[in-house]
A and B are shown apart, each in its own frame.
Chain A
Amino acid sequence: MLQFFHVPALTTTILISLIALLTLAGIMVRPFKLNEAMIALAGAALLLILGLVAPLDALTTLASDWNTFFFFLGMMSISALAEAAGLFDWLAAQAARLAGGSSRRLLLNTFLLGCLISMVLSNDATALILTPIVYTLVTRLRLPVLPFLFACTFIADTASFLLPVSNPINIIILSSFQLDLWTFLRLLFLPSLVVISINIAFFFWLYRRQVQGSFDAKRLPSAAESIRHQGYFRYTCTILLLVALAYIIASALQVPLSLVALGGAFLLLTGALLWKQLTFKDLGKQISWSIFGFIGGMFIVVKAVENTHLTAQFGQLLIHLSAGTSLGAVAVGTAGSAIGTNLINNIPMAIVMRSALGATGHITAAARLGFIAATMFGCDLGPNLTTVGSLATILWLLILRRRNLDVSGLDYFKVGIMVTPLMLLAGAITIWLLLL
Chain B
Amino acid sequence: MRVLCCLDGTNIEEISKAVSTLLQSEARTIGLLYVIDSGPQGEMERQRERFLRPPHPPAPRREQMRQAEIASAQDILEEGTRYLPGGERLQREGRPEREIVQCAADWSADLLVLCPRSPKNPGPPLGPKSVGHVARFVLDHAPCAVLLVRGIGTGSHL
Contacts and interface: CB of A to CB of B under 8 A. Distances in A.
Interface of A: 36-37, 124, 127-128, 131-133, 135-137, 139-140, 142, 144-146, 149, 153, 209-210, 212-213, 285-286, 288, 290-291, 294, 345, 347, 383, 387-389, 393, 406, 408-409, 412
Nearest to B53: A288
Contact of B44 (A144, A149, A209, A406): A149
B155 to A, nearest CB: 17
Contacts of B58: 285-286
A389 B121 contact: no
Interface in B12-28: none
Interface in B66-116: 68-69, 71-72, 75-76, 95, 97
Contacts of A347: 52
A388 B43 contact: yes
Contact of B43 (A128, A288, A409): A409
22 contacts: A124-B51, A128-B48, A128-B51, A132-B64, A136-B65, A136-B68, A142-B72, A144-B120, A145-B37, A209-B120, A210-B121, A213-B120, A288-B52, A288-B54, A383-B50, A388-B46, A388-B50, A393-B46, A406-B97, A406-B133, A408-B39, A412-B43
Contact of B40 (A135, A210, A387): A135
A133 B39 CA distance: 16
Nearest to B122: A209
8 residue pairs, one from A and one from B, having the closest CB atoms: A408-B39, A139-B68, A136-B68, A388-B46, A210-B121, A140-B68, A288-B53, A389-B50
A136 B40 CA distance: 11
A47 B64 CA distance: 45
Contact of A145 (B40, B71, B133, B137): B40
A128 B52 contact: no
A37 B113 CA distance: 48
Contacts of B39: 408
A132 B61 CA distance: 7
Given A124-B51, A128-B51, A140-B71, A408 B43 contact: yes
A140 B75 CA distance: 10
A135 B40 CA distance: 8
B102 to A, nearest CB: 14
Q: Which of B65, B72, B75, B137 has the largest number of chain A CB atoms within 10 A?
A: B72
Interface string B119-147: 01110000000000100010000000000
Interface in B33-47: 37, 39-40, 42-44, 46-47
A286 B37 CA distance: 27
A392 B50 CA distance: 12
Nearest to A210: B121
A372 to B, nearest CB: 24
B72 A409 contact: no
B65 A128 contact: no
B52 to A, nearest CB: 5
A36 B9 CA distance: 40
A282 B84 CA distance: 48
A209 B119 CA distance: 10
A285 B9 CA distance: 37
Contacts of A285: 58
Interface residues of B, number: 35
A355 B76 CA distance: 55
B14 to A, nearest CB: 16
B93 to A, nearest CB: 13
A145 B121 CA distance: 13
Contacts of A393: 46
A69 to B, nearest CB: 14
A36 B54 CA distance: 11
A131 B121 contact: no
A412 B50 CA distance: 13
Given A388-B46, A388-B47, A406-B95, A146 B52 contact: no
Given A136-B64, A347-B52, 18 more contacts: A37-B52, A128-B47, A132-B61, A132-B64, A140-B72, A142-B9, A142-B75, A144-B121, A149-B40, A149-B44, A209-B122, A288-B52, A288-B53, A388-B43, A388-B50, A406-B95, A408-B42, A409-B43
Contacts of B122: 209
Nearest to B54: A288
A39 B6 CA distance: 45
Contacts of A412: 43
A146 B40 contact: yes
A142 B34 CA distance: 13
B107 to A, nearest CB: 22
A346 B40 CA distance: 23
A146 B40 CA distance: 7
A133 B57 CA distance: 11
Nearest to A290: B52
